[in-house]
Amino acid sequence: MRLFHSGTVTLLVVCIIVPVTVHGDVSSAWGDWNTWSACSVTCGYGSITKTRYWFDEDGVKTNETLVQHSSCYLDIKCPVDGNWTMWSPNSACSKQCGQGIRTRTRYCTNPRPLNGGNDCIGSGTDQTNCKLADCPPIPQNFDIETCKKPGKLWCTSKRMCVEVSQRCDRKVQCHDGSDEHLCYKYGNSARGIYLSLTSMAVWISYNVFINLS
C-alpha cells in the first residue's frame, strides 16, 4: 500500500498480490475457461455456465473451480399439461322415485393441454346413486281402459295413467315417477331450486374466469 500526494489530492493505491508457486518451468495457475454449457432447459428461459480449473505446480488439474453463469432463451413453445376445473354441482336426481343417479362434471380447461402437453388424468364425469322417494304401486284392479279417456296422462311404462292435472304437481302419482320426471331441473322445492342455481352460478363464474385468465 502506498500514498501519493499531489497538492490537496491524496491517492491511495492498493496492490493485491496473488502468490504463484513456481516449480521448474511450471507455475500453479487458473486454466482457460471451458466453452459455455448447453441451455439448462429445452424451451423458454434457462441458464448456461462455463468453468475454469486451478492447476497445481505440477500442472495437474485440481477440484478448485470458478464458474460463470449467464441466462439463455430457446425460442420454442413449452408444453403445458392440462388440469381439471372444479367439479360442477351435482345434478338433480334422474328419477323422482326409486333408484336414480346424480351427475357432476368437470373440464380439462384449467388450463387446456398445449404444445404437446399431457391431457388430464381421470374422468370428466362422476355419478352417485340417489333416491328421493319410493315409487307408488300400481293401484289394485286398475282398469287400463280408463287411460283412453280425455284428460288422462299415460305413465311412461304404459301400465297405468293419471289425470293430466297431476303432471308436475310435485307429488308422484305414476308408479314409475314419470308424471314428475323433468319437471324440476334443479330440485324438488323452491329452496332447492334457489340453492342449486346459486351453486351452479358460482361454478360457471369460476370456470369463465379460469378460461379467460
Whether the bond into 111 is cis, omega within 30 of 0: yes
Cell representation of residue 102? 346424480
Which residues are 105's β-sheet partners?
125
CA–CA separation, 128 and 29 (whole Å): 74
Looking up cell 480449473 gives 53
pLDDT in tens, 27-73: 689 999 999 999 999 999 999 999 999 998 888 989 898 999 999 99
pLDDT in tens, 116-162: 999 999 999 999 999 988 999 999 999 999 999 999 999 999 999 99
The amino acid that residue 30 corresponds to is: W
With beta carbons less than 8 A apart as the criterion, state whether 154 and 161 touch: yes
With beta carbons less than 8 A apart as the criterion, state whether 119 and 80 touch: no
pLDDT in tens, 168-191: 998 999 999 999 887 865 444 433
Element of type H or E holding 200: helix 190-212
Strands of 75-151, DSSP E: 100-105, 125-130
Element of type H or E holding 30: strand 29-30
pLDDT in tens, 88-126: 999 989 888 999 999 999 999 999 999 999 999 999 999
